[in-house]
């Protein structure tokens, strides 16, 4: 039987909301300097190497998925979030257009519910926390049940960071024993929900009756044309694929290679640690990675390629970093390897004309992951432009590892975040990287200006005065 919401759980959420509102009142008149100081405190205490490494590894141990050695490097994302926060005003007048007579004032969104995914229980809370507190909001975190311990520990650190600068610790609260009914009730009571997680929870957020920012599924695909630097493309693809054992939606999953460089590219990927599976091994992977209902099997998600191979019934050398399967002409719902993999495996395709590459991209995103992201390794601006015009994605990385770049990096201009909107394609309200701008209300003040009314002859052009 489905779990019913208990009266004690209703009372718990109601009390948390009350505490959050009181915490917001305590900082409603804080200056930009005070808010930035709070952001810096949260940033330091959550992202310093000692604390973040401990909690990142705790999240891997608690969930049973992810790369224990690699995940601590995600702390640098918090550095980027802090950088972006300190460069933007979030209180009082934040924008002014004298010519149009417009002045824009920032106001808090209110009480925010933040749904934390199993894959980022230590990262998403401080990202949300820095953005939300700098915009004078309060957050109630709902962790994934598998990683509730990690998320609660990180929230405790954030609460202590608040106290360091005289801010109320109840700006951040966390549900200790999460459940679907508790989270659903929470979402119905708050002012805004940030749903960073699986499709069912995102859909639940959108049906809560309150505003929500959700994220969409990924199926990140990369086009590599004949102008690419093959060694760099292989290196970056490797970096993107193995980051946290491919747990992120941005991890390169489909590699679409110009036929003239296909063999050379496979060699370069092999030198980077790739293992090209034969047809028998591919069939074994297919049987182990998806169950009879087509769902991904837990033991093959975000794991090392050695574990992935072992779970499938074969062995690979200990020095291999990721698996590759050739998947030419095998795209569609019935072809599982053309979907999101969420592990250390990529599918390979080749094309002759660039129009063929665009058709492969179209088919891949018709299958899964529409709205999320794609990338290209090319020095041909016409190819870059052509892909950007047709790809149904919210972000496209040029000559960058997607899992390191989509959510912002120190070498591109994308806003830093851990939540990626996928637009209408992905069932989301925004195409943007979700940041502090999405956690504010705005008051537009309009002053009168000189009349801006074009003559009708100019306005209607050649149709002016015409009759039907």
- H/E stretch holding 315: none
Taking the C-alpha atoms of residue 98 and residue 447, their distance in angstroms, rounded to an integer, is 9
Backbone angles phi, psi at 209, to 5 degrees: 90, 0
Secondary structure (3-state) at 209? coil
Catalytic option among 162, 249, 277, 303: 249
* 303 noted as active-site residue: no
Taking the C-alpha atoms of residue 290 and residue 284, their distance in angstroms, rounded to an integer, is 11
For 336, residues 6+ apart whose C-beta sits below 8 A from its C-beta are: 286, 289, 290, 294
Terminal CA-CA length for the chain: 66
Taking the C-alpha atoms of residue 228 and residue 50, their distance in angstroms, rounded to an integer, is 39
To the nearest 10 degrees (0 to 180), the angle between helices 354-367 and 381-390 is 30
The closest of 385, 268, 288 to 337, measured between CA atoms, is 288
For 184, residues 6+ apart whose C-beta sits below 8 A from its C-beta are: 5, 204, 208
Beta bridge partners of 440: 108
Residue 338 Cα distances to 12, 243, 363, angstroms: 44, 20, 9
Q: What is the DSSP letter of 4?
A: P
Return the active site residues. Answer: 249
């Amino acid at each position: 039987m489905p779990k019913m919401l208990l009266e004690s759980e209703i009372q718990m959420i109601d009390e948390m909301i009350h505490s959050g509102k009181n915490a917001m009142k305590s900082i409603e008149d804080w200056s930009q300097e005070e808010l930035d100081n709070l952001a810096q405190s949260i940033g330091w205490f959550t992202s310093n190497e000692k604390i973040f490494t401990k909690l990142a590894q705790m999240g891997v141990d608690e969930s049973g998925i992810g790369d224990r050695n690699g995940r601590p490097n995600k702390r640098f994302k918090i550095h980027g979030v802090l950088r972006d926060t300190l460069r933007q005003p979030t209180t009082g007048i934040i924008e002014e257009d004298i010519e149009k007579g417009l002045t824009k004032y920032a106001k808090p969104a209110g009480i925010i519910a933040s749904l934390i995914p199993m894959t980022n229980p230590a990262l998403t809370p401080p990202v949300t926390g820095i953005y939300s507190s700098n915009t004078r909001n309060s957050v109630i975190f709902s962790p994934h049940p598998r990683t509730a311990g990690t998320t609660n520990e990180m929230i405790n650190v954030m609460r202590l960071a608040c106290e360091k600068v005289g801010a109320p610790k109840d700006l951040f609260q966390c549900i200790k024993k999460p459940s679907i009914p508790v989270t659903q009730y929470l979402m119905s009571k708050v002012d805004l929900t940030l749903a960073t997680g699986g499709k069912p929870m995102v859909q639940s957020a959108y049906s809560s009756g309150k505003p929500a920012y959700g994220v969409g599924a990924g199926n990140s695909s990369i086009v590599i044309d004949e102008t690419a630097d093959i060694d760099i493309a292989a290196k970056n693809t490797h970096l993107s694929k193995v980051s946290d054992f491919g747990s992120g939606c941005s991890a390169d999953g489909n590699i679409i290679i110009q036929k003239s460089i296909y063999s050379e590219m496979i060699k370069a990927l092999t030198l980077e640690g790739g293992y090209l599976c034969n047809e028998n091994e591919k069939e074994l992977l297919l049987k182990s990675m998806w169950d009879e209902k087509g769902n991904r099997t837990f033991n093959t998600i975000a794991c090392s390629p050695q574990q992935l191979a072992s779970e499938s019934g074969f062995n690979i050398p200990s020095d291999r970093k990721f698996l590759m399967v050739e998947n030419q002409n095998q795209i569609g719902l019935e072809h599982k390897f053309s979907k999101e993999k969420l592990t250390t495996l990529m599918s390979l395709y080749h094309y002759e004309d660039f129009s063929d590459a665009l058709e492969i991209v179209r088919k891949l995103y018709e299958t899964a992951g529409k709205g999320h992201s794609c990338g290209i390794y090319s020095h041909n601006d016409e190819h870059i432009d052509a892909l950007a015009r047709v790809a149904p994605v919210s972000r496209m990385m040029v000559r960058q590892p997607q899992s390191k770049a989509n959510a912002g990096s120190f070498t591109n201009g994308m806003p830093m975040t851990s939540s990626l909107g996928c637009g209408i394609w992905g069932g989301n309200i925004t195409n943007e990287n979700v940041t502090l701008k999405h956690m504010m209300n705005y008051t537009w003040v309009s002053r009168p200006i000189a009349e801006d009314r074009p003559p009708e002859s100019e306005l209607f052009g050649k149709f002016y005065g015409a009759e039907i």
